[in-house]
Structures are given as C-alpha cells and as structure tokens.
Amino acid sequence: MYINFISVVLLARLSDNFEPKTPASAPGHSDAPAQLSAAPASESSLGSAGAANNYEKPLNDCPVDGGCDCNTTSAIVTYDSGRAYFAVCADDCETANECPPYHGGKSIYTEVKCIPFGRCYINCMIDDDCPGDALCKEAHIAKYVENVCLYYVR
C-alpha cells in the first residue's frame, strides 16, 4: 500500500511539471474553459479528398456564420470570447464503432469515442496522443467534460 501511495504522489508531482504545447494567447482570449459546439461542416467541402477528414484540422478558421470547412459531416469546435478557438473535423456517430480507428496515441488511455458529443473524436491524456499539431484540450458540453484532440484555428 505504501508503494502505491508513493507512485501516485510521484505521478502527481511529475504531472505538475508537464508543460503542454499550447499556443500563445490570442487577443481577447480568456483562461476560462472553452465551451464546445458541434458545428456543421461546410457543404462545399463534403466529398472532396485530401485534407480535413476525421481527426484532422479544418481548412478554414471555422467562422461562426460559415462553419468549419471539413470533408466530414460535422466538426467539434470550442468557442472562447465569441469566436472559434480550437476545432477538429468529425463525422456524426451514435457509437464509437462507427468511427474510423486511430492508433497514434502515446498513452494507454488514447481512444476513439463518440459519446457524449455525437461526433467521432480522439479522447486523449496528453498532447502526444494527438495527430500532427493537434493539442489535447478540455472540452465542455452540458455536464460533460472530455479531453479531445483539437487544432488551434485562430
């Protein structure tokens, strides 16, 4: 029991020193938790090949009035101070079995999920669990809080 307690304390202390690869604050950015929105994908990009597929960065900065330009049915977007701040392209889903697999995470906790957002997303613990330059960010919807791989869009 003593060894397990020490391991937990050591792990907690190590995580205090962890510095995620977070971009510099943008003007108007607050440190309050970002609120999540499931935004429709732009009609113009659906069906085209190449970029902005599931778990990838949208082709635009996801304006509130135009949505995200993705090759998916939807997107997950966090808003801060009235504008999109982080986003990821995502297909609609009812279960994680409907989502494309992802095997790139570094931690054992990385997994593809669908619930509670109704969109395919990568649940992460650290930034290295995410593809490319995506960051592991906390997203809030109703009473749910999940860590989601998201791309900085501002």
Q: What is the pLDDT along the chain (154 residues), one digit of tens a residue?
A: 333 332 222 223 333 333 334 444 444 444 444 445 555 444 333 333 447 999 999 999 999 888 999 999 999 999 888 889 999 999 999 999 999 999 898 888 899 999 888 999 999 999 999 999 999 999 888 888 999 999 999 8
Under 8 Å between Cβ of 69 and 41? yes
Q: Does 10 fall in a domain? A: no
Q: Does 7 fall in a domain? A: no
Dihedral over Cα of 77, 85, 140, 17: its sign: positive
Domain of residue 56 covers: 33-152
Q: Does 97 fall in a domain? A: yes
How many folded domains does the chain comprise? 1
Q: Does 17 fall in a domain? A: no
Under 8 Å between Cβ of 31 and 39? no
Under 8 Å between Cβ of 90 and 79? no
Dihedral over Cα of 21, 34, 24, 66: its sign: positive
List all residues 6 or more positions away from 19 whose beta carbon is below 8 Å from its beta carbon: none
Compute the 3-state secondary structure of the chain and give helix, strand, coil in percent, each to the nearest 5.
15, 30, 55
Map tokens 């050591």 to a residue. Answer: 10
Q: Does 37 fall in a domain? A: yes
Tokens read off for 48: 């085209």
Q: Does 14 fall in a domain? A: no
